[in-house]
Amino acid sequence: MARPHSTYSISREDRNELSAWLRASNTRRSLAQRAQILLLSNKGINAEKVADKLGCAIGTVYKWRNRYSTDGLEGLKDLPRSGQPTKLTRETINWVLKTTTERIPKEATHWSIRLMAKYAGISAWQVQQIWKSADLKPHRLKTFKISNDPEFAEKVVDVVGLYMNPPDNAMVLSVDEKTQIQALDRTQPMLPLKPGQIERRTHDYKRHGTASLYAAFDIATGEVIGRITQRHRAKEFLDFLRQIDRQTPSHLDLHLILDNSSTHKTEQVRKWLAEHSRFKLHFTPTSASWLNAVEGWFGQLERRSLYRGVFTSVKELRDEIRRYIQVHNEEIAKPFQWTKRAEVIIEAVNRTKINAAN
């Protein structure tokens, strides 16, 4: 076939349509390239320069110019392929669902779309649609542990009751400790954020020691009482209870929500609590730390203060934790709101146990 003349003319309507293709975010890359070939050719640029500018073969330029000359804009679209796509049968769908939930591929620990498409002999898009319709997400993994606490229901009702209906003339404090916080220093200085470049840091680091943080989260205000210690023992916990006693109004009862750590139940702690009757302890169920509100605050501390922090000593780490607690209490603190009723939680856990057993 003879090659077209170097000058190439496109009607105004077609130029507007091709320009609209380039502006649209959902235009396929291949179709956008064909539109560029014609628009550049219309400006009088020869085929060799068009090919060089777009990084394609010169034959590609001639192909789409010829297709446009013969069939117009319709000629730029892909020709229909021979044969029909594989149709999904009920047997294939059931096989994919059963295999996804009951088998593990030999190539990996879980199914991917491409792996399942290979085994089932269908397209990746069809696998995706089958999984979507059944709400299957084998690529995702969520960790959990079912509490086997024999008093699970009673403890949930107790703790959730404190959140949703706190007693009068009392403070409800969610208490826990974040242990072994590491003072980490990167081996090289961080490279700062700038336009077109994210903040960067080295993958390796130097350790400069650890510290532990005791925190009491006030449900009514969101403020935090903190104590940083070198070790994590009943002695340190007892010192923290004394600090809470000093820093809270003496006329109020104190309801402390705690986990089941052995440091919270030693003989020394029990003796001290017996002498300070305004302290009343409420324990979360075993393996249910998510029920303790202070855990959410620990997550904020990690994301906003510790994760990107650079600490050349334990003192710098301690100073940063104290700074964040002060800023939190002054600028960020807000009342804690719990919305899920105890009955809903208990029912969900019981349902999970039944599903796990089956």
Residues 124-158 have pLDDT tens digits of: 888 999 998 888 888 888 776 778 888 888 989 99
Mean pLDDT, the chain, as a whole number?
87
CB 297 within 8 A of CB 325: no
Contact residues for 204 (Cβ-Cβ < 8 A; gap 6+): 186, 187
Q: For residue 351, what pLDDT band results from cuts at 50, 70 and 90? A: confident
194 forms bridges with which residues in the sheet? 197
Q: Which amino acid is at 357?
A: A
Of 69-73, 125-129, 191-195, where does mean pLDDT reach its minimum? 191-195
Contact residues for 271 (Cβ-Cβ < 8 A; gap 6+): none
185 forms bridges with which residues in the sheet? 206
Does the pLDDT at position 335 exceed 90? yes
CB 341 within 8 A of CB 160: yes
- Please give the structure tokens belonging to residue 318: 């301690």
**CATH annotation of 152-351:** 3.30.420.10
Average of per-residue pLDDT across 262-277: 91
d(CA 45, CA 321): 64
- Please give the structure tokens belonging to residue 137: 């997400």
- Please give the structure tokens belonging to residue 167: 């007693």
> Measured between alpha carbons, how far is residue 341 from residues 165, 211, 261, 296 in Å?
11, 36, 25, 18
Cα-only R_g, the chain: 33
With H, G, I as helix, E, B as strand and everything else as coil, classify residue 296: helix
Q: Which one, of 142, 135, 125, lies nearest residue 97 by Cα? A: 135
pLDDT at 1: 40
Please, how many CA atoms are within 13 Å of residue 76, restricted to the half-sphere of its CB? 22
Average of per-residue pLDDT across 51-66: 89
- Please give the structure tokens belonging to residue 32: 């956008």
Q: How many CB atoms lie within 10 A of CB 277?
A: 8
Does the pLDDT at position 22 exceed 90? no
pLDDT at 5: 44
pLDDT at 198: 80
For the chain, first and last CA: distance in Å? 69
Average of per-residue pLDDT across 325-341: 92
Query: What are the backbone angles phi and psi of residue 170, rounded to the nearest 5°?
Result: -155, 160
